[in-house]
Amino acid sequence: MVGIGIGVLSWLAFFLVNKPIGISTELSKFSGWAASLGIGMEAVKENAYWAAHVPKFGYSTVFLIFTALGALFSSLMGGTFRLESVPSVWKAEFGSSVAKRYAAAFLGGFLLLFGARLAGGCTSGHGISGSLQLAVSSWVFFAVMLVVALLFAKLIFRKS
């Protein structure tokens, strides 16, 4: 059902706004908007990346917001929502240090977003939208991402 839903959502995105599903560019734009609150939009636009990807509110911002809200709604409806500083899987493997967990989450998130920007798209952009369009770069990205994820998981969770 989820696969069908993503497929229909992708068709709707192309039909209604002529844009693919993706989040990493919008997350980068959102960070530019957040930076503008402190340093001003003119200073943000002096940055080479944000000059090319000017922070603005649009379809992708709505997609970003509703992705987070949809995840929250899904966890509430499924009865799985809970606030936890250190998930049980992490605790079993690496201990209960909140600082260690947050540092690893921040580093992992940073590397994922940095890699997504280098690749010109994220897992949803390449893995869903690009593969639906039969883009060779997206199929290569997705295959490499899967292999690296499996190897990294094996390395991290080698005890289990």
Structure confidence by residue, pLDDT tens digits, 3-37: 888 889 888 888 988 888 877 777 778 888 888 89
Distance of alpha carbon 121 from alpha carbon 75, whole angstroms: 27
Domain ranges (residues) in the chain = 1-82, 86-160
Highest mean pLDDT among 38-42, 51-55, 63-67: 38-42
3-state helix, strand, coil in the chain (%, to 5): 75, 0, 25
Tell me what percent of the residues of the chain surpass a pLDDT of 70. Answer: 98
Identify the pLDDT of residue 159.
63
Q: Considering the entire predicted model, what is its pTM?
A: 0.64
Contact 20, 14 (CB under 8 A): yes
Contact 47, 32 (CB under 8 A): yes
Average pLDDT score, the chain: 85
